[in-house]
Amino acid sequence: MNQNPHIRATQLIAQQRVEGISSEEQSWLAAHLDECETCSAVQAQTAQALNAFRGMKIELPKNLAARTQLRVRLRAEELPAHNPGRVLLWAIAGISWLLGLASAPLVWRGFEWAGTELGLPKIIWQVGVALWWLVPGMVATGTVLLQKWARTNVTE
């Protein structure tokens, strides 16, 4: 504790604003301020300075929020989609791919059998097998690219 009452009062005036003071300190300060004009003036100056600081008027730039909202939305369009549903989609695609791999010998035999029964040249049913695998992937890729193209056009 500071022995000089004026220094102590000045410290408490600041402390009161910054981190708070105990009720005992408040009582002591109030009693001191009642009898000390100099410290009362410090208290008044502090209050006045803070009031002016708090009440300071600042003019916002015109349409600041609207312009920022637009910029944020445009940036959001550029970012990769943060869609939890997409994880599920990828999981389904992965499982589908694994099942496809497991069933590949059966599909191959199925096409071979159908080709033989219909009397088709070997190359025809082999192309059929290839298309069986490629077409779903091509359709999916096409859909994704189409979506991206549509998004880009909307942004522009």
Partner 1 sequence: MWANAQKPGLHFSSLMTDDTKFIARGLKQRDPELLDLLIEQYQFRLFRYLLHLTGSRERAEDFFQETWVRVLERGSQYDGRWKFEAWLFTIARNLVLDWHRRKKPESFESLRGPEEDAAAFDVHDEKSATPLESVLSNEQREGVQASLTKIPVVYREVLVLRFQEEMQLEEIAVVLNTPVSTVKSRLYRGLEALRGAMSGGAA
Maximum Cα–Cα distance for the chain, whole Å? 116
| Long-range contacts from 124-130, C-beta under 8 angstroms, 24+ separation | none
73 is a contact residue toward partner 1 (CB under 8 A): yes
The DSSP 8-state label assigned to residue 116 in this structure reads H
Query: Which of residues 52 and 123 has its CB atom nearest to partner 1 in the complex?
Result: 52
Taking the least distance from each CB to partner 1, the nearer of 46 and 126 is 46
Closest approach of partner 1 to the CB of residue 40, in Å: 14
Q: Is 45 in the site for partner 1 (CB under 8 A)?
A: yes
Give the separation between CA 18 and CA 13, rounded to whole angstroms: 9
Out of 7, 30, 76, 101, the residue judged to bind partner 1 by CB under 8 A: 76
Choose which of 1, 64, 87, 118 interacts with partner 1 (CB under 8 A): 64
Say whether residue 154 binds partner 1 (CB under 8 A): no
Candidates 61-69, 114-122, 131-139, 145-153: pick the segment binding partner 1 (CB under 8 A).
Answer: 61-69
- Count of beta carbons in the 10 Å neighbourhood of residue 27: 11
At closest approach, how far in Å is the CB of 32 from partner 1? 18
Which member of 7, 30, 31, 49 binds partner 1 (CB under 8 A)?
49
Residues 6+ apart with CB under 8 A from 40: 33
Residue from the set 1, 3, 23, 79 that interacts with partner 1 by CB under 8 A: 79
C-alpha dihedral sign at 134, 136, 139, 144? negative
Please pick, from the candidates 42, 107, 120, 127, the single residue that binds partner 1 as defined by CB under 8 A: 42
Minimal distance in Å, beta carbon 41 to partner 1? 9
Six-digit token string for 44: 């008044």
Exposed, middle or buried, 53 (CB in 10 Å: 0-12/13-18/19+)? exposed
